[in-house]
Chain A
Amino acid sequence: MSSVLAFQSSDGTAGSAGRRAAADPPIRIRFVGTRKTFMIGSKPFVALEELNLDVAEGTFFCIVGPSGCGKTTLLRILAGLESPSEGRVECSRTGKEPPRMSMVFQGDSIFPWMSVWDNAAYALRLRGVAHAAIKETVDYYLDRTGLRRFADYYPHQLSGGMKQRVSIARAFANDPEILLMDEPFSALDEQNKTLLQEELLRIWEETRKTVLFITHSVDEAVTLGDRIMVMTAHPGRVKAIIDVPFERPRSVLELRAERSYGELVYRIWGHLRDEVQQARDQQQSNG
C-alpha cells in the first residue's frame, strides 16, 4: 500500500492544490472513492473496493491483478457500461463535452454482420461524421493495422488476431482522448500476441493518448506500460503502483532480452503472487 500513498503525495495532492511542477503531466482520469457492489441473488458482492487513483495525461497505464479482482469492473465504469455504487470518476476535459473514450473489448466484440470496413467505421458513423472524413480515417487505421486488403471481409473469414486488429482499428478510428483496453490480447496465441503488442505500441506512440490497459499478464504490462497498478484479490484494492523505466519507442522483443526487464517482471510477480494464491483459495472455498 505504501507505493499508492507515495504516488498520491507526489501527484494527487499536488493536483488538488491546483499548482504542479511544469514537468508533471496533468491528471486525466481520477477515481474518487469509487466502489462497486453487485447483488448476486440477495447477497451483495463487492466487485471493486473503494478506489482512489489518478492517471496522468498521456500515460500508458496498465492494471494487473488476479481474476475476479474487479479490474474489468473498473474499466466498465469508466466506459459508461456500469455506474459506481459509491464515489465517482472524474476526467479532465478539453472542450465542453466529457472526453471521448474508445474501448477495445475482451474477446469477440466486432459485429459478425458487418464487413471489416463497416466495423472500423462504426463509432464514427454513430457520431454522424461526414462520409469523406470517415473514409479517410478508416482507411488510415486499416492500413496501420494491416487490414486494408481485408476491408470487405466478414469477421468469420478472419483469424482471431485479425479480428482483434479490427477492434483496435475501430477504437483508434473513433479518435478517442482516452483508450480503454480490457485484456485485448488474452485470447490470442503467443506469436499473434507479440505481433499485436508491437503494432499497438507503434500506433500508440504516434499519438500518445492516455491508455488504461487491463491484463492478467505481467509480461504484457511491463512491455507496454509506463506505470503498472497491481490489484489485490477480491475485493479489489490497489496493492502497488510501479513505474516502468524503459524508454520509448520500445521494441517488444529487444525489451524482453534485457536483464532489467526480467527483474521488473520478477518484482511485480512478488506483489502478485500472494494475491493470485488468495484468489485461488477463495475460488476453492466458493466452489
Chain B
Amino acid sequence: MTLATHDNTTQATFVTVAEPKRTRRSFADGVFADEHVMMVLSPVALLLIWEIAGRLGLIDLRFFPMPSQIFTELVGVMSSGELWLNTTASLQRLAIGFVLGGAPALALGILMGLVRPLRLFVDPLVAATYPVPKSAILPLILLVFGLGEASKVVMVAIGVFYPVIINTTAGVLAINRTYLDVGKHFRATPWQTFRTIALPGAMPFIMTGFKLGAGLGLILIAIAEMIGAKRGLGYMIWNAWEILQVEMMYIGILVIAVIGFIVTILLNQLERWMVPWQSGR
C-alpha cells in the first residue's frame, strides 16, 4: 500500500485507507476462474498420477492396473454388449426402486408434516428402523422377495424411502408458519394446502432427500446384485472378482461412479427447475 501524505497548513496528515485493488491477472487465475475446469482437474490429475506410478512400477499392477489398461478392456466389453446389458439392468432396478420408495415417502412425509397426530404415530417407527444398516436386512429381503427382480428393487426402494420421508417431514415443518396462516385465512382446502403450500414450501428439503436417496439407492443396488443376481453392475463386479479379472472390477466401479455423477447432475438440474425461487446456488 502506498502511503500518501499531505502537508497542509493545518498540518493534518492523511493516510490512504481505501484504494482500488491492484490486480495482476496471471495464467493460473484465468484457468481457475472457470469452474468447469476446476471440476475436471482433480480426477484427471489422479488418473495421471496413477498411470505414471504404474509405468514406473511403483504400484502392483495385479491390483491396480493402469488407467490405460482399464480403458483398453473397457473398449472390449463395450463392443461385446455385455457392459450395456449389465448397466441397463442396474439402471432399470434403480429407476423402479426410486419411484416405489420415493413416491410413498414424499406423500407420507408431507402428511406427517401437516398432521401432528400422524407424525407422532409414524415418527417412532421411522426413527427406530432408519439406523438399521440396509445391507443387514438383505438376507431377509431375499427370503421374502426371492432372488429375482423384486428383491433388488425393494432394496433400492428402502434406500430411497428413508432420506425422502425424513427430509420431506423436516421440510414441511420448516415452512414459515405465516405461509400456512395465509392458506388457512384464505380458506384453502386440505388438497389446496398440500398443492400450493406444503409441497412447494418443502421442495428444497425434498430435493435434498432425493439426492441422498439416489446415492443410497446406488450403494444398495450394487450390494444386492452381488448376491443372487445374474445381471447388473454389482453382479459384474462380483463375477470379475471370482474369476480375478481385475480390469473388469474397475470398469464396474467406474460405471457406477459415472452413473452417480450423472444422477447428481440431473437432480441438480431438476432442483433448479423445481425450486426457481432459490437463486444463486
Contacts and interface: CB of A to CB of B under 8 A. Distances in A.
Contacts of B201: 111, 113
A107 B178 contact: yes
A201 to B, nearest CB: 24
A122 B184 contact: no
B203 interface: yes
Interface string A95-125: 0000001110101110111100000001100
A81 interface: yes
Given A108-B176, A126-B187, A113 B182 contact: no
Interface residues of A, number: 23
A27 interface: no
A172 to B, nearest CB: 13
Nearest to B184: A81
B111 interface: no
Interface string B181-194: 11011111100100
B200 interface: yes
Given A113-B200, A126-B187, A174-B186, A156 B277 contact: yes
Contacts of B203: 113
B196 interface: yes
B178 A154 contact: no
Contact of A109 (B179, B188, B279): B179
B192 A111 contact: no
Interface of A: 79-81, 101-103, 105, 107-109, 111-114, 122-123, 126-127, 154-157, 174
B117 interface: no
Interface of B: 176, 178-179, 181-182, 184-189, 192, 196-197, 200-201, 203, 275-279
B196 A122 contact: yes
A122 B193 CA distance: 12
Nearest to B188: A126
The 7 closest A-B pairs by CB, nearest first: A113-B200, A123-B186, A154-B277, A112-B277, A109-B178, A113-B277, A79-B185
A80 B180 CA distance: 13
A102 B276 CA distance: 28
Contacts of B275: 113
B196 A155 contact: no
A102 B105 CA distance: 35
Contacts of B186: 102, 122-123, 126, 174
Contact of B185 (A103, A108, A155): A103
Contacts of B276: 113, 154
Contacts of B279: 154, 156-157
